[in-house]
Chains A and B, each alone.
Chain A
Amino acid sequence: MAGSNPNAKPMNLTLKVWRQPNRQAQGNIVEYHVKDISPDMSFLEMLDVLNEDLLRGGQDPVAFDHDCREGICGSCDLFINGRSHGPEKGTTTCQLHMRKFSDGDTITIEPWRANAFPVNKDLSVDRSAFDRIIQAGGYVSVNTGGAPDGNEIPIPKEISDRAFEAATCIGCGACVAACKNASAMLFVSAKVSQLALLPQGQVERKTRVENMVAQMDKEGFGACTNIGSCAAECPVGISLENIAILNREFLAAKAASNNLA
């Protein structure tokens, strides 16, 4: 084994996995056992092992979302032992490795729990609510063609870097799952901050925040009560400061809005 931990021994684990055939059906926790799990495996590779065992035995494999397995696409979304993406800070499920667990452990694996994220099957949930929030205003309205030269508007590095930090949100939904209110404020605030910081985002700054917040409420996400578990559990470190920016942007927009409601 080329891994750095040549002495690490394979593990045997007990898994308690949420199984639910489809959106309408009742779900329940089912217990499985996996053997000879290498500490160098990723968490999803451990689930691959379980699924291959299930399939060989003629049972339905556990459905879960995943794709890039590099921590960037935002597909994977497991609630592991009561935490979004499991025990390691700043890590998506796909980048979590089994060396963070010990032989004999029992691991509980659930889908994101939020009314706005209904379960498709087993551990896969529907996060299209996030897409609809972006559709409500998470963009700069420029058509292809006719953009000015990229260097026409200098942007201070500090501003650009802050916008970048906010823009790194992967849209996984860990913030919603971690929040006791199932609030989407961190997700919404990341996009609002990014575009509010940049000169390109100024024209639509006020309507954007109003429309995105309205859509967020419509989707059934909860309110923010300033607990901060969203930022604590965010795998890419989106800062809580963004929520402060969102609140400020929202108030400023409302105060100036022609659509006061």
Chain B
Amino acid sequence: MFRILLRKFSEVFLFLLFIMFVSFLFIRLAPGDPVLTILNVEELSVSQEQVEAMREEMGFNDPLFVQFGKWLLDFVRLDFGVSYSTGQPVMATLLRALPATAELTAGALLVMLLVSVPLGSLSALYRGRWIDSLSRMLAIVGAAVPSFWLGLILIDLLGVRFAHLPTMGRDGFLSLILPSLTLGLAISSVYVRLLRSSLLDSLSQEFVRSARARGLSEARIFWLHALRHSLPPVITVFGVSLGSLIGGVVVIEVLFAYPGIGKLVVDAIRQRDYPLIQGYILIMAIVVFVVNALVDLSYRYLNPEMQLKEKEAAR
């Protein structure tokens, strides 16, 4: 277990270092002088002396390898310096926006579960009936609908025409509804069909018949035996498609002007605020690593066979 995590971590870390190095090069070689960017934001007219002073202060006049060394040291200390656009420390800015994104993601996952578990289960239990056809239609269309368009439609319907849910910003529970609903619906189309096919596979297993022969109720068989047996493929796909979830968060946050780190990074990209972009990459790498570790752990919980095999292998 530990060794696997270590290997995963080193993979993520190496790639991270690579991206960091590339982004370092970009910062230094990018068109548009970051010093000018910063100074332009703060003042209207900039004198040559000011530019030079700033350069010296930020260490841009040092040789490149010295700069990289310094930068690497900061990187290890999780210090990404100061945002070009706001002048605030990058890490603090990102951490302040993180809870908002966490709320949105949790809300979206809740919506996803509330949609895909009942719909997936019903289409497995009533295979070939109208509910099954309905979920298949929804899945096909859902795979083709861009999340931001779904959001625009929901804004139009629930934010303007038939209800007046907040469509902008983050101000209490109500403002969370539309973004979570949009993102949740956008990602659930995959899971409905996946859960359905996985459940169909589980329900046709012998152990279900054995449980039935022992007089267990259908509800008990479904919830305690078949459903759990169906989860590993769903979790696998969740782990694999984590990236599209993170990307979805970015799009939805921009769409709803929701002040999370996704919105933050898009603004940063527009303003060429490289320190902020770097900080975002690092946080995402941590998120990806943690989620992957959780996925691995959940396999172990769902499948005791794996757990024991590893124990034996470790011996």
Our verdict on whether A and B bind, yes or no, reads no
Q: Give me the interface of B with A, judged by CB distance under 8 Å.
A: none
Residues of chain A having any CB pair with chain B under 8 Å: none
